[in-house]
Structure 1
């Protein structure tokens, strides 16, 4: 026989549209026991040592409030208008989504549906998910069943070690609406940032993620091909969008994008971006330098460096000696050395002849080499 065991005090409150249950003492669901909540639940007592099943069932919207988060072994939800959390709700085993969303305030990541250790979820769909924050404790990987009031937009997390805590929520909104972002500054390798949706992911463990796009992502307005699609994150340190992606599969209507390893807490928001098309990647030539003061080829000019905020130019003589080096080069090389032994005779300038250059655009992941001819 299913039983509920413990020392408890239940008050029944007259609330709008439905009655509610309030726990002020100690309430426990015994092994093989079960309890169903058909109205609001207020937990101001001890309700965290439970076995069996707890369910929330209602044709109307109901809420969970109180001073302390209740913790259950198994949970299920059949709430047609949803369950609103004003305090966290915790589970140690299975959470079964049947119908209706679990809703949390997006302004408070501390209030969430929490999964512990071996807990997992089943049954998530567009009409049954978490509309707000989900958190995990002591888990190395997890599928966050997050979305908004219309769609499930899950995020898959795979971490290098156990997460003592990680939170995630989905926002159907332009990430530029976040006051902490405010600009569209981005790495030069990135062309566009999604104005449609983003995820917030919190955690301290190096991790990779997978996120998917669908019709609401409006990918055809951003990309011409799947090869351009990537995952981007707003760096809290560098105050810019940075590429986190390693590739994507699918088509412009739906698909999945993957990331390299990163620390979630380093990024304020995560969304889709697009990479520069292959035709936009610079192709450097060989150069002629004639520093004679006539205004033509008096300095080494590499227009493509304007695409990079983190570049190096290094020039070597035919013996392989470094004679010039400059970080974030503009037009500094006019035939004079600033490196190597020949710098002693810099006032005389470098001798006429063939020199080799090495150009690296570190923020774009590009490197070039070629030669230049210095004529006197």
Structure 2
């Protein structure tokens, strides 16, 4: 929706008190090609869900949505500079257009959210316009939640193995040990010994009963560089386990970036098994090999048959015959995987949807590798440049 609609007509049903809200206790319906603008609070106490057309929230003052029954809109846009505050959930069947101002929900009540139904999507999200609270999806398997705090958009990408009947997400720029927005706390010192440090800057709440991976990012405000002796390669996804009541490793399946900014995709897990997720680091190495080899380096591969750099040879793999190598493209898609790797990779994909013709091979470019040395209990990450 590129054209904004400013609607001065107010429709009232039920009763009005000092013209401070639109009370819907009767029968309002937005018909196809119809438009309804809210310039005041909405109190919804009856079914308001067979809507077509566009509903819009406009103005310079805070608009509150409350009532006993959640409204459902087909298309909705938000242009309220002082924010829209949901005290009751709002569902959307089609498009949410974020224009200006945030959509707030109570951070201590996960049952209230902006819910994107089966085909719902959004446009225009930004630091100035997003969900500052809980966003939700219904019957979806893949979705990027447009969540953040008052100042920044901090989305979370959920990729589920199947459709989730309901998934909810919120972001908190708060210390997990002592958050100000919720009653729960997640002490960053309560962690398994395989975690070095848990960040005290931010966390996400993501709930879904379907196994999934999540992708989250860090930026300069995340300040991961302030963690002593930390590099980007040491950043891992950790979660506060409901069962163990401590931070445990969820793990990474892909990662990119430097200590200032980047992203990481988790291993598959069940989000509802965890109260919160955030960034952790692996402990400083004490193993002799790890100390002498803080990184395995970056590599150059030119499989043209000239006898130079035709195969990917990674130094140190022989130290651990029980190992694995995984390669990812710049989109985080896995393109090669080998257990007990011994110099086999020549630029040909062997896994995933990117399995290409043996005559073509993978395209030229930069790839990310993940090496696991099981015998030494070490993991290394780096980059490979493939030259055609």
TM-score, with length taken from structure 2: 0.69
Cα deviation, residue 252, structure 1: 1.5
Specify whether residues 200 and 37 from structure 1 end up closer, same or farther in structure 2 by C-alpha distance, changes over 3 A only. same
Q: 1:276 aligns with which of 277, 283, 290?
A: 283
Contact 1:245/1:257, CA 8 A, preserved across alignment: no
Q: After superposition, where does 1:221-370 map in structure 2 within 5 Å?
A: 221-222=226-227, 224-246=230-252, 247-277=254-284, 279-281=285-287, 366-367=374-375
Contact 2:211/2:271, CA 8 A, preserved across alignment: yes
Distance (Å, rounded) in 1 between the aligned partners of 2:12 and 2:64: 20
Q: 1:188 aligns with which of 161, 182, 193?
A: 193
User: Secondary structure of 2:237's match?
Assistant: strand
Q: After superposition, where does 1:1-376 map in structure 2 within 5 Å?
A: 9-14=13-18, 19-177=20-178, 179=184, 181-182=186-187, 184-222=189-227, 224-246=230-252, 247-277=254-284, 279-281=285-287, 366-367=374-375
Distance (Å, rounded) in 2 between the aligned partners of 1:46 and 1:240: 43
Contact 1:100/1:127, CA 8 A, preserved across alignment: yes
Distance (Å, rounded) in 1 between the aligned partners of 2:276 and 2:287: 27
Contact 2:136/2:167, CA 8 A, preserved across alignment: yes
Specify whether residues 31 and 183 from structure 1 end up closer, same or farther in structure 2 by C-alpha distance, changes over 3 A only. same
Distance (Å, rounded) in 1 between the aligned partners of 2:287 and 2:149: 38
Specify whether residues 171 and 229 from structure 1 end up closer, same or farther in structure 2 by C-alpha distance, changes over 3 A only. same
Structure holding more strand per residue: 1
Cα deviation, residue 365, structure 1: 8.7
User: Secondary structure of 2:15's match?
Assistant: strand
Cα deviation, residue 172, structure 1: 1.0
Distance (Å, rounded) in 2 between the aligned partners of 1:63 and 1:162: 31
TM-score, with length taken from structure 1: 0.71
Q: CA RMSD for the aligned pairs?
A: 2.4
Contact 2:176/2:188, CA 8 A, preserved across alignment: no
Distance (Å, rounded) in 2 between the aligned partners of 1:216 and 1:229: 15
Specify whether residues 281 and 78 from structure 1 end up closer, same or farther in structure 2 by C-alpha distance, changes over 3 A only. farther
Cα deviation, residue 95, structure 1: 0.4
1:209-255 C-alpha deviation (Å, 9 max, x unpaired): 00011111111112532101111101111222112231421112111
Cα deviation, residue 368, structure 1: 5.8
Cα deviation, residue 8, structure 1: 7.8
Distance (Å, rounded) in 2 between the aligned partners of 1:47 and 1:266: 34
1:151-187 C-alpha deviation (Å, 9 max, x unpaired): 1110000000000001111111111126453462222
Unmatched 5+ stretches in structure 1: 285-363, 370-376
Please identify the structure whose Cα radius of gyration is greater.
1
